[in-house]
Amino acid sequence: MTAIEFNTRIVQERNSLKNFALSLTHNVDDALDLLQDTYVKALTYRSKFEESTNLKAWLFTIMKNTFINAYRRNRKTKQLISKGDDIAMNRAFKQNSYDQCESRIHAKEIIKHIESLEDGYKVPFTRYYLGYKYEEIAKEMSLPLGTIKSRIFIARKILMEEITKRNN
């Protein structure tokens, strides 16, 4: 199948894909984003499509997996925000407006520490805490998986040391 034929066939499935996206997201804007992501992935991985298989089912599978991965990434990000010390900090900062101002100052300082990291540590650390998997970060940065895990660990260690110094 030529690229033009493939493109024509996936465009013909637009209405079905849009309806499926709406059933997953329950939001028009999110559905259109999901549809766009699905098209991008379908075009990117066109070589993996086997002509003897059902194109519509293949596109639906891409869309479903894209939706699930985004959902997991968002859920993981929300969990990271509300875990451990953050829960205690959130409760403490809700006590009064002075505490809220102080929390903003602390957050700004933490962001400064993150931004002061070397790119080799900052980029994987930031990606990881945005919900990306180690494998995704390694692929994006064209580095071995072990290197990514090590850099994220070292970045955490550096940040903890900086925060500890500030608090002492």
pLDDT in tens, 89-109: 455 445 544 445 555 556 677
Cα 108 from Cα 115, distance rounded (Å): 10
Q: Spell out, as residue ranges, where the chain has pLDDT lower than 70.
A: 76-107, 166-168
pLDDT in tens, 34-52: 999 999 999 998 989 988 8
Fold of the domain built from segment(s) 90-167: Arc Repressor Mutant, subunit A (1.10.10)
Domains of the chain, by residue range, sit at 3-46+53-79, 90-167
**What is the pLDDT at residue 78?**
60
Fold of the domain built from segment(s) 3-46+53-79: Rna Polymerase Sigma Factor; Chain: A (1.10.1740)
**What is the pLDDT at residue 158?**
87
Cα 116 from Cα 31, distance rounded (Å): 37
| Token pair recorded at residue 164 | 């500890």
Judged by DSSP in three states, 132 sits in coil
- CB 53, CB 66: distance < 8 Å: no
Please choose, from the candidates 60, 61, 165, the residue with its C-alpha nearest in 3D space to the C-alpha of residue 113. 165
